[in-house]
Amino acid sequence: MQIQLQKTKRELKIKNYSPKTLQSYLYSLRKYFSFKNNKFTELDQENIRDFLLHCEKKRISPQSRNLLLNAIKFYYRNVVKNSQKIEIQSAKKPHSLPIVLSRSEINKILTTVKNAKHKLMLSLAYGAGLRVSEVIALKVQDLDLEELVVHIKQAKGQKDRISVIPESLTDSLRSLTAGKVGDDSVFASERGGKLTTRTAQKVFENALRDSGIKKIATFHSLRHSFATHLLENGTDVRYVQELLGHQNIRTTQIYTKVTNPKLKNIKSPL
């Protein structure tokens, strides 16, 4: 098993897959190899189906099962060099609307945060539509406070993009980055280096709890709210797509279902 995992790791690195994808694929293959038990290089589609059904019975989500399948496909195609097509469809994912916070709820959450750096981090995540991984990875050199833009480098899909910086945050960002060099983290931890993903998520979770808001929101809800509020302000969906870094416009269009003014203006007959 370890030999096959090492070969997969090497191939993922050669193809420049992100560290997160590398970790996820190796974890997925380890689970599959444990289930298969032997003859790892032998492609058995019925065995793969049995494995995915086993995962479904263990209540593993459709998204996670699709990740497992993608890892298996990568292994046989790129490591084993088996050209046989794996005729297994991805699991159908449930279509749920994103959890969006209203403007007043965003304000309530930010008001509860007493730590100035943590408050600024959540404010920028909302104001620029950033993922948690993007916020903690920000370097001082990524901020252009004169032009009010932030350069997000090697984000999801290893793509760069530009987003907006709220003018209201520029003074706080200048104070936070004063004395730092370009390669320093904007939101450094107390021990040096960038904050961890878990720390940033915990900051949001504590703020949500202290605000008394009952929505099942996460740090990512700040990004959902950014997109929804831009659309409510009349921003063209294609500009929102660029700011979010979505490859497909359909990914961005889900926010139009949350913010559809014609639906919101309908009065219940009761």
CA–CA dist 76, 40 (Å, integer) = 9
With beta carbons less than 8 A apart as the criterion, state whether 228 and 100 touch: yes
Known catalytic residues? 131, 156, 220, 223, 246, 255
Which one, of 123, 132, 131, 55, lies nearest residue 88 by Cα?
55
Contact 142, 176 (CB under 8 A): no
Task: Copy the structure tokens of residue 99.
Answer: 């959890």
Residue pair 106/223 in contact (Cβ under 8 Å)? The answer is no
For residue 9, give every residue at least 6 positions away whose Cβ sits within 8 Å of its Cβ, in sequence order, or none.
22, 26
Residue 100 one-letter amino acid:
V
Q: What is the DSSP letter of 167?
A: G
Query: Residue 12 carries which side chain, given as an amino acid letter?
Result: L
Strands 161-164, 143-144: pairing is unpaired
